[in-house]
Amino acid sequence: MAENTSPAITMTCEVCSEYYTDPLMLPCLHSFCKKCLIKAKEKQGSADTSLKCPTCDTSVNLPDGKIKGLTQNLWFAHKSKEASIKKKILSKEAISCDECDDSSDAAVVYCCDCGQFLCDLCKKVHKRNKKKANHKLIGLETKESVKLPTIKHEEGYCDRHTDQKLIYYCHDCEKLVCPNCLPIKHKDHNIEDYIDVGETARKALKESVASCDGVIPPVTEAIANGEKMLEQIATRKEEVRQEIKETFEKLKAALDKRCNDLLMETEEIARAKRNSVEKQLDGFCKLVKQVSHGRYLASSVSERTDPGEVLSVKKLITNQLEECIEEYKKLPLEIEDKKVVLACLNTAAISDEIRKFGSIFEADPASYSIDSGLAIPLATVKKERKFKVSLPAGIDKAASYLKGSFIKSDGSKEEGRVVIVNDKNTAIVSCTPQSIGGYELSVTIRGHHIKGSPYQLSVKASRDYTTLTNQRSFYVGSGTACVAVHTNGEVYASSYDDGFVQ
């Protein structure tokens, strides 16, 4: 598990993406080229005596406020050199000879012992040297992948005395030091040759590794649990979002229906009023037409000179006009509409209720518990068994999410019913077992068990106690206070703890 979480170590600086040059290690264990840290420090400002790690942003206090006071990473320096040399060996580009400065000849071999690239002439000179005759040389002609032998380790140099090698180790300061630093900064300190301390340091590092073996697995498990919880949070968020959207869609549908109902009612009232007015207008129009027509006929006939013509229609015309006058006298000229149509919508009150409608809250399942009914952990086949669940004050709304289930020892499941009683701080979980045997009662909120859940329950066959001729006592649970037998054969038992009757 630890191997899976350990990052691969690369020999390139995260700032410049090149092989490390003079790598320095920060207390956060991230390493960078010395020149890269100097540039980073210059960007922060010379007045700041700390440095932020370019990788993890950890603030690091600089010794004497300077970069050169940081720890030299000789391990990375050596590994970077190995990687750089191997890259050159495998490179298709020509490599200059390290031995002859002014030579234009390209190197043809690499000496693993000297750590130098040599041209053909220098290679021959190298082989003639008795001290170097047995050195390991790697040819550069084939440019094939080769296994690079271990490169000879070179001591690091002091950052204060650049010509002095770090060949001592100060136990008091826990750092490598050069001979010139001994009398200046490490006088009277516990000093040893660094080679003599190496094995002790290796052992200490291995012990540190061993001491951390128990850290990664539980933390990794905690991370996995946290990631699972994040998934659950995301899932629950979507569930709640969906609940909210569905609820408000229903409310919108209800509002739309009510809107249509009110519009239809308005249309019906308006239609009735319109019909009434139109009926009155029809009467007015009819009277006007009759009067106009009668007046026209009367005027026309009155101009005739022949008495016979006048007398032949006089009666009908005068009768009709008299009837129109009588109808006019009876007819109310004002349009009758005494009632005014109003819409009582009470938008202010409804808007206020909408603002208060719904709420998002959190509930801790561990704060819920069965406080009555389990003191007697028994039940009877095909008889309802009830359990009181106490609800934390103020969050009784979560009771609607309570779920109860009974799982038999054989794995079969019987769902329980959740009934919310009038008491806001109490709920009833009930179930009717269908067979004898051991049951496991689970009470959950959104799949999370309440305090103490799951509970154990034993279901027994029913018994007709009224048929008993002699007084006897029966064990019904360690928490039994009193037992009573009804005339119908039912047995009632109360618990010592809270008097809850079953």
Q: What is the mean pLDDT of residues 204-213?
A: 88
Cα gap 496→481, rounded to integer Å: 5
The enclosing H or E element of 413 equals strand 413-415
CB neighbourhood size of 279 (10 A): 9
217 or 144, higher pLDDT:
217
What integer pLDDT is reported at residue 473 of this predicted model?
53
Q: Which pLDDT score, from 0 to 100, does residue 3 have?
A: 42
- Judged against a pLDDT cut of 90, whether residue 451 lies above it is answered with no
Return phi, psi of residue 61, to 5°.
-75, 125
Question: Residue 180 has what pLDDT?
Answer: 92
Over pLDDT 90: what percentage of the chain? 18
Domain 7-90 bears CATH identifier 3.40.50.1380: no
The structural domains of the chain, with segments of one domain joined by +, span: 7-90, 219-330, 365-466+476-495
Which residues contact residue 21 at a Cβ distance below 8 angstroms, ignoring those fewer than 6 apart? 33, 34, 35, 80
Distance of CA 79 to the CA centre of its chain: 42
Q: What is the pLDDT of residue 478?
A: 52
User: Any idea how long the chain is?
Assistant: 502
What is the average pLDDT score of the chain?
A: 81
Higher pLDDT, 460 or 270: 270
**Per-residue pLDDT tens digits for 292-333:** 999 999 998 888 878 888 889 989 999 999 999 998 888 887
Nearest one of 455, 457, 473 to 465, comparing CA atoms: 473
Residue 66 neighbours by CB under 8 Å, 6+ apart: none
Q: Using CB atoms within 10 Å of the CB of residue 167, give its burial: 0 to 12 exposed, 13 to 18 middle, 19+ buried.
A: middle
Using a cut of 0.75, tell me whether the model's pTM lies above it: no
What is the tens place of the pLDDT at every residue in 227-265?
Answer: 998 998 898 899 889 989 999 999 999 999 999 999 999
CATH number of 365-466+476-495: 2.60.40.10
* Lowest pLDDT segment from 231-240, 410-419, 480-489: 480-489
394 band by pLDDT with thresholds 50, 70 and 90: low
Cis before 454 (ω within 30)? yes
d(Cα 319, Cα 290) in Å, to the nearest integer? Answer: 12
What pairs with residue 443 in β-bridges? 404
Sign of the CA dihedral with 270 first, then 273, 275, and 281 last: negative
